[in-house]
Amino acid sequence: MTTATYTVKGMTCGHCVSSVKEEVGEISGITAVEVDLASGLLTVESDDPIDSEQIKAAVQEAGYEVDPS
């Protein structure tokens, strides 16, 4: 199992969290998605290696962006 953590910028409410979880959860191979509104942390688990570009694209599709730092 592979786990990766990202910081998402721009989330302000529970709906934001739901949008990010839904978009990232649709990526093939992703087995778990956790989003913490207070810290902005997005934690993703997968049985396969995680493609960061796919994660970033899904977060952008939800209307937010991944902090590049």
42 pLDDT exceeds 80?
yes
Segment 25-36, tens digit of pLDDT:
999 999 999 999
Map tokens 């739901």 to a residue: 18
CA dist list (Å): 14 to 33, 47, 52, 53? 15, 27, 24, 24
Task: Count how many domains the chain has.
Answer: 1
Domain that holds residue 34: 2-66
Global pTM reads: 0.93
Which pLDDT band holds residue 61 (cuts at 50, 70, 90)?
very high
- CATH code for position 35: 3.30.70.100
